[in-house]
Structure 1
Amino acid sequence: MDKNAVIYIAGHRGMVGSAIYRKLKKEGYNRIITRSSAALDLRDQESVGQFFAKEKPEYVFLAAAKVGGIVANNTYRAEFLYDNLVIQNNVIHQSYVNGVTKLMFLGSSCIYPKLAPQPLKETYLLTGLLEPTNEPYAIAKIAGIKLCEAYRDQYGCNFISVMPTNLYGEGDNYHREHSHVLPALIRKIHEAKVNDYPSVSVWGSGEPKREFLYADDLADACYFLMTHYDEKEPVNIGTGEDLSIKELALLICRVIGFKGDLIFDQSKPDGTPRKLMDVSKLHALGWKHQTILKKGVTKAYLDFLESTQALRYAQ
């Protein structure tokens, strides 16, 4: 990408979009277009069309999405399917109509079958049933991948798709019920420490294994692929390393300094037993993550402490 290229980041206020924004600014890109959801509702087809016709971005990072943890996914099933389908349809179609040079669609590791072999290879897509609790979100993301492929096949568009693993980092969502597991644990364990609680309740058995990637590492990988990858097939982005939810909770306890007990609430759903990405394709292209989990969790906790959320959540 030329340093003077006009770049649109859809979803720049989210954890992923804001990390991509920081990365591009660091690399010297200054013609970056952003719009808040209040200024541009990506679900509004006419508004998105007018925006693209006026701004004429050359490159698009499609990081806008309705996201949440296992409870949010399972509760707001219609919204997670409808909103994500409409957002990506509008942005991808208008990128074609307005001659965008290259678009990157950010999917999710939840696109893979619940019981697919581990680690998850890109070729496992659509080979089995999805995890029921986040099926609507996964179907929307699969549709986004296929839409990029279809526009490439029919119109020759250079639209690529990347599949990030579980993410965490600066600007994460720490909502009590609608956040992902790592930020949810940061909040719970922080509250337990400041309120001197004897224990913390952790959803599920603690046995499922998950992989976690620091958001700024994802942004670095996205920039690398935007400048080095032009193929149809999706690319996994992750660390290639995982640990159990129990091990994660214990790590967060050590980072925060909480000495109490962990109580695993098995009445809550576990979700997929294991979800580890095969990142051999990404490694072969020449990219590998830099932030080890303990360092990343420490940085995420410091970001949480600096946010107004931490003060509110401690009450």
Structure 2
Amino acid sequence: MNLNSKIYVAGSHGLVGSAIVRRLKKLGYTNILGKTSTELDLRNQSEVAAFFATECPEYVFLAAAKVGGIMANNNLPAEFIYDNVMIEANVIHSAHKYRVNKLLFLGSSCIYPKYAPQPLKEEYLLTGELEPTNEPYAIAKIAGVKLCQAYRRQYGDNFLSVMPPNLYGINDTFDLENSHVLPALMKKFHEAKLSKSPSVTVWGSGNPRREFLYVDDLANACCFLMKHYNDDEIINIGTGVDITIAELAAMMADIIGFTGDISFDTTKPDGTPIKRLDVSKINRLGWSAQTALKTGIEKTYQWFSQEVCAVD
């Protein structure tokens, strides 16, 4: 990519897309395209085709997706598979049709089997059954991976797929029912501190282990891979370090200043027991995550306090 290359960031107003835009601007790229979901419905094939025909982007970061936590995935399985499959199919096909130089597709670590060996290596894809609570989303993401590989194999398109772990950071969604675990915990502990609640209840046993990546580190990796990676195989992006949900809750409480008790509702699902990515492949290319979890949470909470709470 040259600094004046026309770059389309699909999902530019979301958690991942906005971080990619920030990174691109920091690197000096000046010709960045972005549309809100109301301006361009990526589930609509004709709208997407018309956009690509008019704008002719040279590079595409496909960061648009319908995302959510365990409750959202359980309650809206049809939307999670339909919306994501349609977004991926329309953008990837138009990228092929209108001769995009390179496309980077954002997958998810949930594509790996529920009981795959740890850490999760790229070759574990499709070697076992998925976690039932997010299977529709995972299947949609696997479809995106296979679309990229199929267009590369049949047409020679330079489409690549990257797999991040749980993400968090600026522009996250802080919703107690539908967001991912880290932002949900941030809002829950913040509200408990303000209301002087004696305790906070966390979903599940607290035992599952998860890997968390600060979204600006992900954006850094995506821009790095857009320049340095051209392989057909998927590639993990992460820290390679995990933490239990109980440990995350304790860290969150400490950062926010909540001094009450933390309890766990074991009637709620835990999801996959452990998810930690093997990041040796991207490390060998010369990239590694720079933001420690505590530092990333502190940065996110500062933004949350200034931007989200001010609006609320």
2-structure distance, mates of 1:261, 1:176: 18
Shift of 1:86: 0.3
Shift of 1:270: 0.3
Shift of 1:176: 1.4
- Match of 1:307, SS? helix
2-structure distance, mates of 1:244, 1:36: 35
2-structure distance, mates of 1:241, 1:34: 33
- 1:278 and 2:278 are equivalent in the alignment: yes
2-structure distance, mates of 1:45, 1:230: 27
1-structure distance, mates of 2:80, 2:250: 31
- Match of 2:81, SS? helix
Q: Which residue of 2 aligns with 1:217?
A: 217
Q: How does 1:162-177 map to 2 (within 5 A)?
A: 162-177=162-177
1-structure distance, mates of 2:213, 2:85: 25
Q: Which residue of 1 aligns with 2:193?
A: 193
Q: Which residue of 2 aligns with 1:238?
A: 238
Q: Which residue of 1 aligns with 2:81?
A: 81
2-structure distance, mates of 1:75, 1:238: 28
1-structure distance, mates of 2:259, 2:40: 46
With the length of structure 1 as denominator, give the TM-score of the two structures. 0.98
2-structure distance, mates of 1:48, 1:309: 35
Q: How does 1:120-269 map to 2 (within 5 A)?
A: 120-269=120-269
What is the one-letter code of the residue matched to 2:74?
A: N
Q: Which residue of 2 aligns with 1:10?
A: 10
Q: Which residue of 2 aligns with 1:104?
A: 104
- Match of 1:282, SS? helix
2-structure distance, mates of 1:177, 1:48: 31
1-structure distance, mates of 2:311, 2:193: 13
2-structure distance, mates of 1:175, 1:146: 31
- Match of 1:41, SS? coil
Shift of 1:109: 0.3
2-structure distance, mates of 1:106, 1:311: 30
1-structure distance, mates of 2:176, 2:185: 9
Shift of 1:311: 5.8
- Match of 1:202, SS? strand
Shift of 1:308: 3.4
Query: Number of residues paired by the alignment?
Result: 312
Q: How does 1:51-90 map to 2 (within 5 A)?
A: 51-90=51-90
What is the one-letter code of the residue matched to 2:168?
A: Y
Q: Which runs of 5+ in 1 are unaligned?
A: none
What is the one-letter code of the residue matched to 2:207?
A: E
Q: Which residue of 2 aligns with 1:24?
A: 24
Percent of pairs identical after alignment? 63
What is the one-letter code of the residue matched to 2:96?
A: Y
Shift of 1:310: 6.0
Shift of 1:303: 1.0
- 1:93 and 2:106 are equivalent in the alignment: no
Q: How does 1:292-303 map to 2 (within 5 A)?
A: 292-303=292-303
2-structure distance, mates of 1:22, 1:284: 25
